[in-house]
Amino acid sequence: MSTQADVKSLDTLAFVKAALAAYAHESGQAIDEVELEGRKAVDYITVDQAAFWKAEVRRCNDLVNQAIKDLEHCRAFKKVGDNQPSCAEEKKNLEKARAKLANAEQKAEAVRRWTPVVLQQYRETCVRLVHFREVVDVDCPKAIARVEHMLKALEAYGQVSSPRPDTAAAGGASAASVVRQTDDTVASATAAPADAPRDTATGEAP
């Protein structure tokens, strides 16, 4: 297994660390904003609109009752002989009041119908946000710590002194000298002595 580290740039790891920190910070703020805006939307539907249309139904009921009274008053006191008054304006006001009441009741019913749906969706969204917040609050710091550990290890690795060129050259020259000395020793050991007796017939050393 190779023990060498193929490191191109420590700046890249530093950039990754900074990017993770920025991501965790911005994501945390985004989660807070989503929760806040979601809560506002839920309150607007389930509280504000519910109260508004409930009050609107009461007000429209009052308008209808008042229009009925006005119509009855017109029929009772504007009668001339046997001729019944038309009371066209009072009838028109009553129709408008009843139409407003019907619209207010529809809106109030829609709010009542959609309130549990909105609350359920908001709860499910909050559950997903909790999981996302765990990633931001737990996993991101772990990743940042791991990158920081890698940076420190690589910086320490980079500070380890390597053999200097002159030392390596000196070591090479010394090795070459040893090789030459060894070759000379072997050659002298295998050569015959100059004063060794020689065979008179062949002229060679015995």
Predicted TM-score (pTM) of the model is: 0.58
- Asked, for residue 177, whether it belongs to a domain, the answer is no
Question: Per the domain annotation, does 119 fall within a domain?
Answer: yes
Element (H, E) at 142: helix 140-158
- Parent domain of 90: 10-160
Is residue 203 one of the residues assigned to a domain?
Answer: no
pLDDT the model gives residue 110: 96
Helices (H) and strands (E) in the chain, counts: 5, 0
**Residue 108: per-residue pLDDT:** 96
pLDDT of residue 139: 92
The pLDDT of residue 190 is 42
- The answer as to whether 193 is a domain residue is no
Number of domains into which the chain is organized: 1
**Domain presence at residue 196:** no
Q: What is the mean pLDDT of each run of 10 residues along the chain (206 residues)?
A: 62 88 92 92 94 96 95 79 78 94 96 94 91 90 91 81 49 46 45 45 45
**Cα–Cα dist 99/141, whole Å:** 60
Report if residue 169 sits inside a domain.
no
pLDDT value of residue 48: 95
Do 140 and 23 touch, CB atoms closer than 8 A? yes
Residue where the block lists tokens 């999981």: 131
Answer whether residue 181 is part of any domain. no
Q: Does 115 map to a domain?
A: yes
